[in-house]
Structure 1
Amino acid sequence: MTIQSPETTQTFSVYYDAQDNELNQHKMDAYALGNSILEIAKLVKQADTLLNGEQKTVDLQVTAPAREGSLAIDFAITVLNSGGVDILKYLGLSAASASVIGGTALAVARQLKRKKVISIETTSGSSQAKILYNGGEIECEKTVAMLATNPEIRKSMNEVINQPFFGKNDPKFRVEIDGQNVFIAEGDVVSEFTPMPKNSMSTEETQVITTNVHITQINFESKNGWRMLYDGQEKAVKMDDDAFMTRVRDSVNKFSNGDMFEVELSIIHKKTARSERTEYMITHVIRHRAAPERQIL
């Protein structure tokens, strides 16, 4: 993993070109251009956070307005922390990007396109990783895998490379450093930079326990709409015990909100690249912990 040198400034230029009247006159819709600049800033910031933690290690500035030729935007990125990882290198926006084994984040994102990413496999002591997706796998550096499978990074790539060319013919996006192209996407390749599918990196883990809960909200008509007090907090819970539901409807005894029950509780942890949540489901009600005359089972 390459570490940046202290207090250095590197400039790079982003070019938009196409068979388009506005771009041929060095013009672009103000919203599209402003959004592109914003998303480049987000791309750099998110990469810095992923690779270097919460401490900001680089500062990105726009250094010049669009100039003649293809519509171009100049940026200067200054290293603020000498201990930070070289984010431009691993993104694919640096002359040093060619040395990244297995390709940069931009190259891997292009390979992935709209494919659902299943998981990332890593090995302790190795700098390499394996991205598993529906239909195949990609081997690359761990640093690159983190970037190429991050939803915010992928969204910014799409907004910077793909969206500004919507409805335009022969698109060409390129990044230039010191007069040399370090990244080019043109023609149909431009549209291959897409956001991460929403169900990527999804995992589901279920834990089944026997515990006591207080039922705080009842819904006699549906398995949903129930709530319980568990682990000191009120939580939504699905009542998936059909026999208990029938007994509740038919019983001459009634139970009150707040009654305690011994139950089999499934705790389901769901995680995707975009979100993480926990769901609760009562699969079996074992005992109604109430006075005998009030018990419904």
Structure 2
Amino acid sequence: MSLIESNSLKISFILLKRLVTSECSLHVEDLKNIGKNGVFKMEQSNLNLDKQSETETFTISYNSADADLQNHRLNAGDLATAIKEMNDLLVKSDKVLNGKKRSFEVFVEAPAKEGSLGVQFLVEMLNPENAMPVLAAVGVVGGLVKTTFDVAREMNGHTYLDIETCEDSDDATIKLDGKTITSHEDVAVLISYPEIRESIKKIVTVPLENHEQPEFKIFKSTSTDTETSEAKIETVSFDEKAIKAISQLNTQNKDPQIVTLKAVITFVKINFTGKKGWKIKLDGKEVPVEIKDDNFFLRIKKATLSFKDGDEYNAVLERTSRFDGKTNQEKFSYALISAKKKRKPKK
């Protein structure tokens, strides 16, 4: 446990684990009250906490050796970026792990402490059972040995390839170019998304760019009282070396793999008006195909090529493979480069 340093710039997040609706004046996606000269301004929210509610509080803290952060000053645009990206990280992670139905909503209110640049996020829990695993995987409430922030640091510029899950445990192996990382399956799935890695990178690095001896931390509060200076438990702690590793985080996945193959096919669905919407039978399976053979398609349009059920074609196909981190499967798409009707042997 450690206390939040008084010279740190703090951003507090309050996670409301309840089904009761709160009155919050500002949704984080509506954040726009940025003042001039780098001064961050927000209207005081009208948060109603009269009803009893269970809360989870965490704080992200930026610190450095130079005067600005020591004096609680941070560029308004950089702070707004951190707020937006934390919201995007939480909302996207929820969607990845729980589907389209949200398990929480994210709100923001002005800091309660006079003279502070802290910004409080209030996340209203719509489904705590689904929400808490998301927050643990992201790394804002603790509970996992390795979070998305930790894995992002360990990636250190390596390119993401795919993930391999374990049937008898919740662990998964994240495969990179040149190394592997083991983590909880939820963390592995989240880190497979480029936009999630992009949010982590911006949250950590944008506010600390060009600052001396930067530090980034996430604290989980041991109390629900945000007015007190209670003890905090670190869930993430990055020094200058770790922040540099995050700055090198590769936010792109491995490029799609394209191979050319020859095969005997039959057409099972034909579109006389467009190059998409076709289907072929390949190796006993029906698959969609895009027509890239202009001469072949021109003959179709001019009605100089007829099709009969069961006609076979010698085809050259272009197969593109992409890895889907959510389903942990490789997906294939096909394009027809050329096709020539297979001649039937003479009797």
Post-superposition Cα deviations, 1:243-297, rounded to whole Å, max 9, x if no partner, equal x99xxxxxxxx96844437441425233156997834132453369xxxxxxxxx
Q: 1:229 to 1:128 in 2, by over 3 A?
A: closer
Partner of 1:106: 149
Query: Normalization by structure 1: what TM-score?
Result: 0.72
Q: Distance in 2 between matches of 1:176 and 1:68?
A: 21
Helix, strand or coil at the partner of 2:64? strand
Matching residue's letter, 2:341: I
Q: CA deviation at 1:24?
A: 2.9
- Alignment counterpart, residue 136 of structure 2, candidates 83, 89, 95: 89
Q: Distance in 2 between matches of 1:190 and 1:67?
A: 28
Q: Distance in 1 between matches of 2:271 and 2:100?
A: 41
Partner of 1:160: 203
Q: Please list every run of 5 or more consecutive structure 2 residues that lacks an aligned counterpart in the other structure.
A: 1-15, 20-53, 222-230, 281-287, 307-312
Post-superposition Cα deviations, 1:211-245, rounded to whole Å, max 9, x if no partner, equal 3578989xxxxxxxxx5773499945157xxxx99
Matching residue's letter, 1:149: S
Partner of 1:294: none
Give the superposed CA RMSD.
3.8
Asked if residue 266 in structure 1 is aligned to residue 317 in structure 2, the reply is: yes
Q: CA deviation at 1:17?
A: 1.6
Partner of 2:63: 17
More displaced stretch, 274-283 vs 178-187: 274-283
Asked if residue 189 in structure 1 is aligned to residue 242 in structure 2, the reply is: yes
1:56–1:80 contact (8 Å) kept in structure 2: yes
Partner of 2:123: 77
- Alignment counterpart, residue 198 of structure 1, candidates 244, 252, 255: 252
Q: CA deviation at 1:43?
A: 0.5
Post-superposition Cα deviations, 1:130-173, rounded to whole Å, max 9, x if no partner, equal 11111121121111111222212111001100122222221111
Helix, strand or coil at the partner of 2:128? coil
Partner of 1:169: 212
Asked if residue 286 in structure 1 is aligned to residue 341 in structure 2, the reply is: yes
Helix, strand or coil at the partner of 2:158? coil
Q: 1:71 to 1:161 in 2, by over 3 A?
A: farther
Percent identity between matched residues is 22
Q: CA deviation at 1:115?
A: 0.9
- Alignment counterpart, residue 58 of structure 1, candidates 71, 86, 104: 104
Helix, strand or coil at the partner of 1:16? strand
1:210–1:265 contact (8 Å) kept in structure 2: no
Q: Distance in 1 between matches of 2:250 and 2:74?
A: 27
Q: Distance in 2 between matches of 1:35 and 1:66?
A: 21
Q: Please list every run of 5 or more consecutive structure 1 residues that lacks an aligned counterpart in the other structure.
A: 218-226, 246-253, 289-297
- Alignment counterpart, residue 266 of structure 2, candidates 206, 211, 214: 211
Q: CA deviation at 1:209?
A: 4.4
Query: Normalization by structure 2: what TM-score?
Result: 0.62
